[in-house]
Structure 1
């Protein structure tokens, strides 16, 4: 089965996390867009129209929960899957992510396999492939 290529936006204020995610995703054959905070991400979502978004929770200016809620309120992007990224693995954090529209939650540090599995899982769901 051929692997489908997706356009993935990674939002994280950590340069290390952004670069790691970019390397992993590009190795998986995906197109990668990087944003360093929620405000930067909002412009890039509109300009690049990603297929999937990975979004850090703790960021300056506009945190991941706020960015996710704003993206999901826009009808044009309401169906774009968002996976929250956080070093915190609490039930409250996961529940809050779901409340603002996130589809899943990945704990940092993540592995290449975890990242690529999430892309394939949500990419297939978007295309209606089971």
Structure 2
């Protein structure tokens, strides 16, 4: 059923301190027709949220300065973005890690290394078409 919804062109933010991870996600998502906004850390992501208003955020957990849990919590506390899905990306997938992600409002947890299919499945599950879109 989600296949019928046109998600082409929606804005997706990828927040990760690893250039390799950011580039991999950008390639996968751009090839699938998404607009990709890249952020190097939580502070960079929060600054870009206002300008770009992504439909969904993929956020690394382990980052310097502001980690993914803090970043997710700040996004979810903001009235403009509390409904924006945040998908945590991490190599830490223990029960406590997942519980902490859930506590700060994360919508899903993807473990690294992620695949093109896992990113696109998360988008199909959580992303909404741009509001006001007449397509």
TM-score (norm 2): 0.89
**What is the aligned partner in structure 1 of residue 73 from structure 2?**
69
**For the Cα contact (< 8 Å) 2:55–2:128, is it kept in 1?**
no
Partner Cα distance (2:128, 2:35) in 1 = 16
Partner Cα distance (1:41, 1:4) in 2 = 22
Once the 2 structures are TM-superposed, how far is the Cα of residue 123 of structure 1 from its aligned partner? 1.5
Which one of 112, 116, 119 corresponds to residue 112 of structure 1? Answer: 116
Partner Cα distance (1:57, 1:111) in 2 = 17
Which one of 88, 99, 103 corresponds to residue 107 of structure 2? Answer: 103
Aligned residues: 127
Partner Cα distance (1:126, 1:65) in 2 = 26
1:8 and 2:8 correspond? no
Partner Cα distance (1:126, 1:72) in 2 = 19
**For the Cα contact (< 8 Å) 2:6–2:129, is it kept in 1?**
no
2:70 counterpart SS class: helix
Structure 1 segments, 4+ long, off by >6 Å, are none
1:78 counterpart SS class: coil
Unaligned runs of 5+ in 1: none
2:127 counterpart SS class: helix
Give me the CA root mean square deviation.
1.7
